[in-house]
Amino acid sequence: MESIQELRENLQREKLEGRERPWGYRWFQRGPSIFLTWLLVRTPLAPNTITLLSIFSGLIGAYFFLCPNGILKLLALFLFYLHLILDRVDGEVARYKKRFSLKGIYLDELNHYIIPPLFFLSLAWGLKDTTAYSESIILLAGMLAGFSSILLRLTHNLPYGIFLKKYIKHRDIFPLPPFSPTISSIRANHSFLYPILRFLHQFQDFFLTIVFFAITLLMEQYAVKNGFLFPYTSLLLFGYAVYLPCIVLENIAKGVRTIEARMKESISTLETTPYNETQQ
């Protein structure tokens, strides 16, 4: 059996090298996930089963968020974090056991569309009776943040769906301009904005969302109780209800600007990637 270091090298290298990742991804997501992977590859558990466990952990976390008790809310955050770790583990186990499937990808996408919205919706529902703010305002904030978290995933995946569903079938009616810019040239032309946008996009990461709410809940429980504008989780929820829609609008504007470049990039990838690599 390989050591932890060998597993990390074999199963995580492609997820870490040459990619820009949000803060904490390497140390607090892939860091602990490899230890759980080391245990689970010794079991008959299939990667898809681990994905289902990840979804289940998030659903239980959403249920505990409905409770007014602060300790249960902290437990909910731990379950959301476990959901995130299992979401990393299922892919690591799949790569170790060479068990890849389209069903697994489908379940993984469902996971990303279901749990983050439930995080905000269940949080808002659990806060509505314990906060001084209007119940309708709290619920609206939860819906805005939850719906925006779906749109964030959707706007990320939409160009690839368009490529497969529309462009591949109808290249004749969707000609690409011969001199349309590439993704790299677009980034180069807006290089002054890229570091700013990359910093702003950091905070949409689900792990950082969990961290921020954990710190806020701990403050409510053990540091500054019943202070001005209490509970502070309401304020953080309001912040996400403003921040996430703004990131969605930025993603939409960026998508419209780069859609033709994305199509060219997808064609290039399809033409240069060997068949056996596309299956994994």
Domain extent listing, the chain? 4-278
Mean pLDDT across the stretch 161-180? Answer: 82
CB 80 within 8 A of CB 207: no
Per residue in 67-110, pLDDT tens? Answer: 988 899 999 999 999 999 999 999 999 999 999 999 999 999 99
pLDDT at 123: 96
Q: How many CA atoms does the CB half-sphere of 236 hold within 13 Å?
A: 21
Spell out the residues 6+ positions from residue 123 whose beta carbon is closer than 8 angstroms to its own.
Answer: 65, 142, 213, 233, 237
Confidence of residue 280 (pLDDT cuts 50, 70, 90): very low
Mean pLDDT across the stretch 51-59? Answer: 98
Spell out the residues 6+ positions from residue 237 whose beta carbon is closer than 8 angstroms to its own.
Answer: 120, 123, 124, 127, 138, 141, 142, 145
CB 89 within 8 A of CB 37: yes
Confidence of residue 190 (pLDDT cuts 50, 70, 90): low
Domain 4-278 has CATH 3.40.50.720: no
Lowest mean pLDDT among 129-138, 173-182, 200-209, 229-238: 173-182
Please state, in angstroms and as integers, the Cα–Cα distance from residue 100 to each residue in 87, 104, 126, 165, 193, following that order.
15, 7, 38, 23, 38
Is the per-residue pLDDT at 215 higher than 80? Answer: yes
Of residues 109 and 270, the one with the higher pLDDT is 109
pLDDT at 89: 97
Which residue reads 């505990």 in tokens?
Answer: 64
Give the three-class secondary structure for 12.
helix
Confidence of residue 277 (pLDDT cuts 50, 70, 90): very low
